[in-house]
Structure 1
Amino acid sequence: MKQVDIDKTSWTTCPDCHGLGKKSQRLRKKARLHYQYQLEQFKNSNGEGKAPLPPKKQFKTCSSCSGSGLIPSEHFPSPDKATYPHVAIIGAGIGGVALAVTCLHRGIPFTLYERDQNFNSRSQGYGLTLQQASKVIKGFGLVSLGEGVTSTRHIVHTTEGEVIGEWGMRKWVHSDTESSSKRTNIHIARQSLRLALLEQLGGNGAVQWNHQLLDFNVEDDKRIKLNFQVDGKIKSEKADLVIGADGIRSSVRQLLLGEDVAPLRYLGCIVILGICPLKNLNHIESPLLDSATVFQTANGNERIYMMPYSEDAIMWQLSFPISKNEAKALSNKGTTALKKEACKRTQWHAPIPQILEATDAKQISGYPVYDRELLTLEQLDNAGPITLLGDAAHPMSPFKGQGANQALLDALALARGISKGCRPSSSWRDIGLRKSVLTSFESEMLKRSAKKVKDSAAAAEFLHTETILFKGDEPRGGCLKRLNE
């Protein structure tokens, strides 16, 4: 695989903001006096009514690191084993590698375990759209994403090719300014982003490959003993904190909570994915193949979504309602059957049939779509020094493009929480990591991701109904909200 072109500089946390990317400001005099006045009124009323809430602190972007929380370092970071807990990260997908990177920058000792044999064990994978995460990508030390592609136009069609919705910079802004590019989405292959993050760690050697987690238990000294299967043998390791970043069918989650707590929930549809090189489409002239346009076409049942995968490839995602048993059966038939089904269902306007026909079956995959009911803080109260992030904590349908974004935000938030909650002046060894770090992290994570899980589940339904055919120059989710008002 081609290496992602990123800056080779090592990074460390910004001393001015302690790696948070922002600094608190003093309360304005007006806000402070107003609160004091309300508090005095409350006291004079003999406690009647509700006590006024103290004004929230205001934050500003740290000028020293431009909000990334990082500054360049001449030396590769070394772990501070005396200060911080040793973190065992289970799963070297996007979320797990991102957490490892943010721990590295902060001197938090970690070991990253992955059940795959090596980096290339996984298929080429799908493309990601970085939305909120694109604003904080520098917080992972990624100065640039060499294989990232920016889209500036999004179009919705009927199956006959009629445009029923269009938005994006090329519609609303008629200039190629730097400010406009900041408001666009970045599309990148999943493996390319994963590789860019791994390079921050120094390469594939930073991962303990071929480690299948079997079980773990908290011992008397509060440390966690983990047992792995490695080449048919049992290998034991110890850590102070275990993070399950091992996906929707997380082993850590299963061992921690069991399958009865928020089991997999089928969302009533299947997704078939394909990646087509543009060179396979040289004979087709279409403005939709300019590597800067995202488009989708639907008929109220089937829906196909196409986006740039890289500068020289396009990714497509076909979805349609189907029973769970039928979805499993179709997925199990393999790539050739998936391609045949996709082509049969999309004899629509050009260049859709041509793209699907030109896609090699080896670059096609398909799976039933699941999520889980969101966890609660109460369900994690007794988890001790163990937590989850990304799809292990809050899996969601792919239709809002939020899975990887939320995993990246989770990773950054957790590393910052460890750095803040386990400073030398803290007593994390005495009061425990749950109280010092995890409860606060989980509260923020679950609150932030709740709407994404809900909206993604709703999208799995309305994108396959006539709602998507609503005429309007806005994302289909916006149309749904207006129709329900």
Structure 2
Amino acid sequence: MEKIKNSALKWTICQECHGQGKKSRGLSKKARLGYQMALDLYGKTNDERTAPVPPKGHLYSCLNCSGSGLVPSVAPPIADNENYPNIAIIGGGIGGVALAVACLHRGIPFTLYERDSNFEARSQGYGLTLQQASRAIEGLGIFSLEQGVISTRHLVHTTTGKVIGEWGIRKWMQSDAKTSPKRTNVHIARQSLRLALLEQLGGHDAVQWGHQLVGFNESDDDSLGLIFEVNGEIQHAKADLVVGADGIRSAVRSLLIAEDSSPLRYLGCIVILGICPLSAIESHSSSLLDSATVFQTANGNERIYIMPFTSDSVMWQLSFPMPEKEAKDLSAQGVQALKEEACRRTKWHDPIPQILAATLETQISGYPVYDRELLEPELLKKAGPATLIGDAAHPMSPFKGQGANQALLDALSLARGISKGCRPLSQWRKAGVRESVLTVFESEMLERSATKVKDSADAVQFLHSETVLHEGDEPRGRYIKKEKA
């Protein structure tokens, strides 16, 4: 399918792959016979061995939709309230809006609730880097990101400006290597991506703003009764499935899982973030500020990471170890204190001091960094028709840039699972949405995100240690893994 701009296009699922983006070639004769032999042997024994797992056919990208699972349509599908469960999505951030979009394309009825009063009510984070999710956004009907910036070079410096690591397309193309990796990262403001997703829904009116979830319970008809506080008053709603996409301090999670069974875990450092327009430092020219370079500088304790935010601005992220109480106190002191602390700690090579000095206090924030222990699937088994995605399910530190990526993958995976598990004649209402969809979805989600959570936590340690000063043209985490191998 030709890659076209988003414009005003509508989308529906590709009928050849049923919106999955992939098709199966089926099982080979060898695989079928092997599984049958294993099954026969299992049936003849009386021991308690695990039953053989049915093999899966080799998957390949659907040619009809180029692997996106979508094809252009005159209008989005009409919501199928008869066959599909009605979804209540709690949280209008990246993950929640992405799930709503994926449901829209499949005719799955949904209502998107957000506690904020409007789109601009609070900061939804700064910039994000699309890695694995670069492919996933095509599955959400976004085939071009007009506000996205592609980086082609990544540098690591000491505080004096000495380059101790470089990688990226520009580096590879200059080398004598016979092959050059073609992977690129797309950097985009979180709000820009969120807005692009909202446009798929028809705009801001698709969100029920100002709805703070305070509780829910199962009704006699197996639906869930939801309780919201709206403008100081209590309102009620119903849904067949509740999805918590409401962040690291998820209200849905707290209603499903006791806090003491999976508490927030402080990772020992604080992050200070800022956005600086390039026009504010025009008097200082630097090849690092070409809107296509990502660079980081570290000393074994403090570390700053600077990336393109838009074509004419950069985002910086300074982090350093600090006791939890001190980190909370610094964050509570406000943006002036955060900026002063950042400038004090980064009297390093140009253009770092200039960037921080030129950053307006209104464009600065800071917070202690937390995650949670990996969520055990058993904790959700008793949740009935409710589940979690994104940071509500697997919060992680920002140092691997995986939070938004995993949330987008979660959203698309869940919508595809609902479309497949609750299709007409599936009798999902009799079996329940948990058995029909959620158990498989959660298992895949938690397995996929587990390494990201762990790697993100590990990065807190090595990015603020002498290890980060290792000389080598590769990401610091890759070096760590080689050392452990």
- Normalising TM by the smaller chain, what interval? over 0.9
Amino acid at match of 1:443: S
CA distance in 2, matches of 1:51, 1:282: 66
Describe the superposition over 1:433-478 as per-residue Cα deviations: whole angstroms up to 9, x where unpaired: 1101100110000000000000000001111000000111110001
CA shift at 1:49, angstroms? 10
Which residue is equivalent to 1:300?
300
CA shift at 1:173, angstroms? 2.1
CA distance in 2, matches of 1:180, 1:129: 21
Native 8 Å contact 1:7 1:143 kept in 2: no
CA distance in 1, matches of 2:115, 2:350: 42
CA distance in 1, matches of 2:84, 2:43: 44
Describe the superposition over 1:16-75 as per-residue Cα deviations: whole angstroms up to 9, x where unpaired: 111000011122345446666778999999999998765431111101111000010011
Matched, 1:327 2:331: no
Q: How many pairs are equivalent? A: 478
CA distance in 2, matches of 1:54, 1:226: 39
Which residue is equivalent to 1:129?
129
Native 8 Å contact 2:245 2:391 kept in 1: yes
SS across alignment from 1:101: helix
Which residue is equivalent to 1:229?
229
% identity of equivalent residues: 68
1:29-428 paired onto structure 2 within 5 Å? 29-32=29-32, 55-123=55-123, 125-174=125-174, 183-428=183-428
Amino acid at match of 1:153: R
Native 8 Å contact 2:172 2:180 kept in 1: no
Describe the superposition over 1:248-273 as per-residue Cα deviations: whole angstroms up to 9, x where unpaired: 00001111112112100000000000
Show structure 1 runs of 5+ residues with no match. Answer: none
Distance change in 2, residues 1:180/1:291 (3 Å)? farther
Native 8 Å contact 1:6 1:146 kept in 2: no
Distance change in 2, residues 1:32/1:217 (3 Å)? closer
Describe the superposition over 1:309-340 as per-residue Cα deviations: whole angstroms up to 9, x where unpaired: 01010000000000000000000011111000
Native 8 Å contact 2:397 2:460 kept in 1: yes
Residues 34-43 or 460-469, more deviating: 34-43
SS across alignment from 1:88: strand
Show structure 2 runs of 5+ residues with no match. Answer: none
CA distance in 2, matches of 1:209, 1:184: 35
CA distance in 1, matches of 2:110, 2:320: 42
SS across alignment from 1:220: coil
Native 8 Å contact 1:7 1:144 kept in 2: no
SS across alignment from 2:260: coil
CA shift at 1:82, angstroms? 0.6
Distance change in 2, residues 1:424/1:466 (3 Å)? same
CA shift at 1:125, angstroms? 3.1
CA shift at 1:174, angstroms? 4.7
CA distance in 2, matches of 1:95, 1:50: 35
Describe the superposition over 1:85-121 as per-residue Cα deviations: whole angstroms up to 9, x where unpaired: 1000000000000000000000000000000010011
CA distance in 2, matches of 1:384, 1:44: 36
Native 8 Å contact 2:169 2:182 kept in 1: no
Provide TM-score, normalisation by structure 1: 0.94
SS across alignment from 1:260: helix
Which residue is equivalent to 2:461?
461
Which residue is equivalent to 2:471?
471
Describe the superposition over 1:206-264 as per-residue Cα deviations: whole angstroms up to 9, x where unpaired: 00000111111111111111111111111100111000000000001111112112100
Distance change in 2, residues 1:64/1:390 (3 Å)? same
CA distance in 2, matches of 1:370, 1:45: 49
Distance change in 2, residues 1:86/1:51 (3 Å)? closer
SS across alignment from 1:436: helix
SS across alignment from 1:120: coil
Distance change in 2, residues 1:287/1:235 (3 Å)? same
Which residue is equivalent to 1:438?
438
CA distance in 2, matches of 1:50, 1:224: 35
Native 8 Å contact 1:306 1:316 kept in 2: yes
Native 8 Å contact 1:270 1:322 kept in 2: yes
CA distance in 1, matches of 2:11, 2:91: 23
Which residue is equivalent to 2:21?
21
Amino acid at match of 1:275: I
CA shift at 1:81, angstroms? 0.5
CA distance in 2, matches of 1:389, 1:483: 33
